Structure 1
Amino acid sequence: MTQHQHTNALVTGLNQQSLAQLPSHVDTPSYDRSAVKAGIVHIGVGGFHRAHQAVYVNELLKTPGSEQWGICGVGLLEGNRGLRDILKQQDYLYTLTVRHPDGKIDNKVIGSMIDFLFAPEDKQAVINKLAHSDTKIVSLTITEGGYNFNPATGEFDYSNPDIINDINNPNDPITAFGYITAALKLRKEQGLGAFTVQSCDNIQHNGNVTRKMLLAFATEQDKNLSEWIEQNVSFPNAMVDRITPVSKKSDIDYVVDAYGVSDEWPITCESFTQWVIEDTFSDSRPNWDVVGAQFVTDVTPYETMKIRLLNAGHSVLGLLGSIHGYGTIDETVSDELFATYLRAFMDKEVTPNLEPLEGIDLQSYKDTLIERFANPNIKDSLARICSESSAKLPKFLIATINENLVQGRDVSLATLVIATWCLYSDKGVSEKGEKLEIQDAMYKELNSYAQETQTSPIAFLKLTSLFGKLEHNETFTAEYKKSIAALYAPNSKIKAIMQAVLEQKSN
């Protein structure tokens, strides 16, 4: 997002001082921000963190006695410089526009972040902050890619040049693991207890994954330290959920009109929010349950439900919709055929693999999902949904396919999505001839394998780091070849193919 000068030169920028002049309908921090300490250091301050965890903290800070739970943000990448500059200029305040499906809007200013450190400028300052005795929780939203595991094996990737740097240069880290390990080493040397490492990323068993990857890294760097981490550091699993589109210029304009101040990096999100957290912390923790989070002993079934229904559902709409030429999730699911296809996928291919959950009515959860996807006030782009599909689909969709194949169940709906991903990676254009905006760390491999499809229909499946042994499963490959033949036929139309698969499914 670029800095924005509103046409009205009299508009003040958002900061601590301008809070007083906001209209009464804007919910502002009612607590004394100068008394707040950073008990949480958050690495990877993106839109999702600012619409989710930071909002729970903001609400908690309104409860007396919670002032030790403020957030210090950390940006590890050069690309975070602009965000740092904007947040600093705004006293780390930002606006949150919560858009309900019925058009109602809640306007909030979030004040839970009280500082932001930009690692490329001062690495030691970040290590010291993480190691500080006030820091009880180090939380992460570093996307799937940031955890540095091989998607097919789930093992740590030691070949990553940044990881090689961090293992050999403990005091000059680049990655989240490098910083966290350096800080834990300092804590151990100073006789301080460990902090909790809390992943807030959309990854199944995110705490277990973080633990496994950090220990793999630390063992390679310092065996003694790694044993101390294993014994002292908690990595609670959590399930997180809130749809948060990328901020656009129209969001900036909206804030000026609604608030009378300008915010250069506002956040818009849906009204639904969910956070289910495993109650295992190394040290004290915030009472997030007071403000709507749920502490449980086992997060697994909750996250499985969400990843297989919501995240996979997003990918189903994202890939099929992109090929048809739609641009956003709400536009796609408002098309009855796409909504029917998605619901059939959720009911017939996902639900049979899910176990019943306390406090969750699965049918109404699925109804709510479709309502959330159809929210016309949340313009979530398909390009964002499809970005980094190589990191998402093995967990979201391919896992469901594998389970159904083991159980001898039909996988035709999900198979069409995988075949569509091949076409998407190969041609990169919609049926309308528009170039698709594809962002994926594995794009070169995806494209090169997909391009062989004309000569070998299952070429794409030979990318075993993503598909494992699917190319050898005859039931799957028979279905996949059928989808590929239909998609690659001259003048093929995705909607006609979807219709045919739905009809086959109901027979």
Structure 2
Amino acid sequence: MKRLSNETLSHVPDRVQPPAYDRTQLKAGIVHLGIGAFHRAHQAFYTEAVLNRFGGDWGIIGCSLRSASVREQLAPQDGLYTLVERSSDEEKLQIIGAVTSVMVGPEDPAALVQVMADPAIKIVSLTVTEKGYCHDPATGDLNLENPDIQHDLRHLSNPKTAIGYLVASLKARMETGVSSFTAMSCDNLPNNGEVLEKAVHQFAGQVSPELAQWIRANTTFPCTMIDRIVPATTDADREHVESVLGLRDEGTVFTEPFTQWVIEDNFANGRPQWEEVGAQLVDDVEIFEKIKLRLLNGAHSTLAYSGYLAGFEYVSEVMSEPAFVRMIETYHAREAGETVTAPEGFDIESYKAQLRDRFRNTSLKHRTWQIAMDGSQKLPQRLLHTVREQLSGKGHIDIIALGVAAWIRYVTGVDENGDPIEVSDPMAQKLREICDRTQGNPEAMARGVIALREVFGTDLIDHPVFVEAVVYWLTEFYRKGVKATVQAHFTE
């Protein structure tokens, strides 16, 4: 079967929307670090819409900072891939052409730095996940003890981290008199632009005061809020797209119809007209970000850990169990709902109901295990900021504590049947050591994990209401099992 490519693009059926612009004339204006499925379904989707309507030199050079898998998918296809928007009863297929090429950083770090230093590049965006910022989630400070950060400080011309690549390329631009780019985080972090700015400034300060000052004066770091559910593509998904296209597409991405992108309008060197294709350009992203992180991401993580342990592979399966639905409805109404205020004209109750409908989408095979990855990096912004706010005002914390307890039970690495859990987390070993040491004593286990400053800071271990709530749920999980515990507490 022939691959999707520039040569075969004319063969796609009429029901599939192709690029409406001349790709042979497309020049790159954006470098994106972390070109996974989410970027291709979200930021590249919006940029494609701009190119279709207005044209412009806003092609994307995608960069992987780890494996060559995306390059292997897209390079034989000239960067083309199919984006499939799928609801429970219909689907829409579109060929995305915004990605001009894909680089693999570890193969030639200096080459990627050179590309990022090119004057044609106006924006460097990132989806490198929370752990890619090499920061301490509890404090926001760059972790200067991180081995990769230490490597980059010693060998800045051949960096390993996203922070290292940004500083190395900004240094090259300063030294050659090239204007700076906008560094735009698109990861699920509160104040993500500020997190990125702090990490870059702290790293640059270790390199030279002159560089740090130049970056402060010339580089902007807008905050963004991104929202779209993008599950991992399966072999069955690729087979389906092949049956529709009559072409093989190794880079296809599946997503839901819903999408949202809120961007702080703070760009150093121009930008695409994203606001003309559905993005919101605003002065302050924080209110939108807080709503999304607490109502969507906090609920998603709670569903992922408890659902996985209850034996559900997909989020939609968890949402088929009435007790879990009731748990999330209560979380939306109380724990998270009590801490967010909607902007004017925003119907927050409809938003909550829409979130639950999105979680129920049976056509999106979003695995609980996928959402459960990197919990030590995600919990601070998804659940712990909320619990601190609730504790300060004596608000409800029960379901937040349940979510934390489910995470602790999950990172033990052994499920309720005694089978191993593949825990993907940068702190997996440290967490497993605590859990192994306290096995058989849920209270000691909970206290041992909550004492981890890197995740929980130094304050939460001293909040007896929070600690006791986590201990209660963890004890119940070991006594009854997660599914039975949720059913016992959230069945009407």
| 1:493 corresponds to | 481
5+ residue gaps, structure 1, are 1-10
**Which of residues 236, 240, 247 is equivalent to 1:250?**
236
**Which of residues 71, 75, 87 is equivalent to 1:100?**
87
Q: Identity over the aligned pairs, expressed in percent?
A: 37
Correspondence list, 1:184-195, <5 A? 184-195=170-181
Residue 98 of structure 2 is aligned to residue 112 of structure 1: yes
When structure 1 is superposed on structure 2, of 114-123 and 284-293 the one drifting more is 114-123
Quote the Cα distance in structure 1 between the aligned partners of 2:73 and 2:463: 52
Question: Residue 152 of structure 2 contacts residue 160 of structure 2 at CA under 8 Å; is this kept in 1?
Answer: yes
Correspondence list, 1:451-462, <5 A? 451=436, 452=438, 454-455=440-441, 456=444, 458-462=447-451
Cα deviation for residue 250 of structure 1 reads 0.7
- 3-state SS of paired residue (2:115): helix
**Which of residues 270, 288, 308 is equivalent to 2:274?**
288
Quote the Cα distance in structure 1 between the aligned partners of 2:15 and 2:129: 34
Residue 422 of structure 2 is aligned to residue 437 of structure 1: yes
Cα deviation for residue 427 of structure 1 reads 5.0
Correspondence list, 1:34-433, <5 A? 34-64=24-54, 66-77=55-66, 79=67, 81-101=68-88, 103-426=89-412, 428-429=414-415, 431-433=416-418
Quote the Cα distance in structure 1 between the aligned partners of 2:419 and 2:87: 31
When structure 1 is superposed on structure 2, of 172-181 and 104-113 the one drifting more is 172-181
Question: Residue 322 of structure 1 contacts residue 436 of structure 1 at CA under 8 Å; is this kept in 2?
Answer: no
Cα deviation for residue 100 of structure 1 reads 1.6
Quote the Cα distance in structure 2 between the aligned partners of 1:67 and 1:383: 40
> TM-score, normalising length from structure 1?
0.93
Quote the Cα distance in structure 1 between the aligned partners of 2:350 and 2:454: 36
Cα distance change on mapping 1:434 and 1:377 into 2, 3 Å: farther
Cα deviation for residue 433 of structure 1 reads 4.8
Question: Residue 247 of structure 1 contacts residue 268 of structure 1 at CA under 8 Å; is this kept in 2?
Answer: yes
Cα deviation for residue 498 of structure 1 reads 2.0
> TM-score, normalising length from structure 2?
0.96
Cα deviation for residue 450 of structure 1 reads 2.5
Quote the Cα distance in structure 2 between the aligned partners of 1:179 and 1:388: 22
| 1:6 corresponds to | none
Quote the Cα distance in structure 1 between the aligned partners of 2:244 and 2:294: 37
| 2:454 corresponds to | 465
Quote the Cα distance in structure 2 between the aligned partners of 1:462 and 1:179: 33
Cα deviation for residue 482 of structure 1 reads 2.0
When structure 1 is superposed on structure 2, of 292-301 and 186-195 the one drifting more is 186-195
Quote the Cα distance in structure 1 between the aligned partners of 2:473 and 2:92: 44
Quote the Cα distance in structure 1 between the aligned partners of 2:382 and 2:238: 33
Task: For 2:45, give the aligned amino acid.
Answer: V
Kindly tell me the number of residue pairs found equivalent between the two proteins: 487
Residue 3 of structure 2 is aligned to residue 13 of structure 1: yes
Task: For 1:436, give the aligned amino acid.
Answer: I
Cα deviation for residue 186 of structure 1 reads 1.8
Cα distance change on mapping 1:475 and 1:453 into 2, 3 Å: farther
When structure 1 is superposed on structure 2, of 447-456 and 82-91 the one drifting more is 447-456
Quote the Cα distance in structure 1 between the aligned partners of 2:191 and 2:259: 19
Task: For 2:486, give the aligned amino acid.
Answer: M
Cα deviation for residue 401 of structure 1 reads 1.1
| 2:21 corresponds to | 31
**Which of residues 424, 435, 448 is equivalent to 1:450?**
435
Cα distance change on mapping 1:125 and 1:460 into 2, 3 Å: closer
Cα deviation for residue 163 of structure 1 reads 1.0
When structure 1 is superposed on structure 2, of 398-407 and 274-283 the one drifting more is 398-407
Cα distance change on mapping 1:240 and 1:472 into 2, 3 Å: same
Question: Residue 278 of structure 1 contacts residue 297 of structure 1 at CA under 8 Å; is this kept in 2?
Answer: yes
Question: Residue 50 of structure 2 contacts residue 274 of structure 2 at CA under 8 Å; is this kept in 1?
Answer: yes
Cα deviation for residue 393 of structure 1 reads 0.8
5+ residue gaps, structure 2, are none
1:246-297 Cα shifts (integer Å, max 9, x gaps): 1110111011111110011211111110000000000111110111000000
Question: Residue 413 of structure 2 contacts residue 422 of structure 2 at CA under 8 Å; is this kept in 1?
Answer: no
Cα distance change on mapping 1:253 and 1:418 into 2, 3 Å: same
Question: Residue 383 of structure 1 contacts residue 436 of structure 1 at CA under 8 Å; is this kept in 2?
Answer: no
Question: Residue 324 of structure 2 contacts residue 487 of structure 2 at CA under 8 Å; is this kept in 1?
Answer: no
Cα deviation for residue 46 of structure 1 reads 0.4
Task: For 1:439, give the aligned amino acid.
Answer: S
Cα deviation for residue 120 of structure 1 reads 2.5
- 3-state SS of paired residue (2:215): helix
Quote the Cα distance in structure 2 between the aligned partners of 1:85 and 1:427: 32
- 3-state SS of paired residue (1:133): coil
Task: For 1:229, give the aligned amino acid.
Answer: I
Quote the Cα distance in structure 2 between the aligned partners of 1:69 and 1:249: 31
- 3-state SS of paired residue (1:284): coil
Quote the Cα distance in structure 2 between the aligned partners of 1:90 and 1:170: 33
1:424-473 Cα shifts (integer Å, max 9, x gaps): 222521x4555433211111111222231534252322223212222221
Question: Residue 411 of structure 2 contacts residue 431 of structure 2 at CA under 8 Å; is this kept in 1?
Answer: yes
Task: For 1:330, give the aligned amino acid.
Answer: S
Quote the Cα distance in structure 1 between the aligned partners of 2:470 and 2:317: 27
Quote the Cα distance in structure 1 between the aligned partners of 2:114 and 2:422: 40
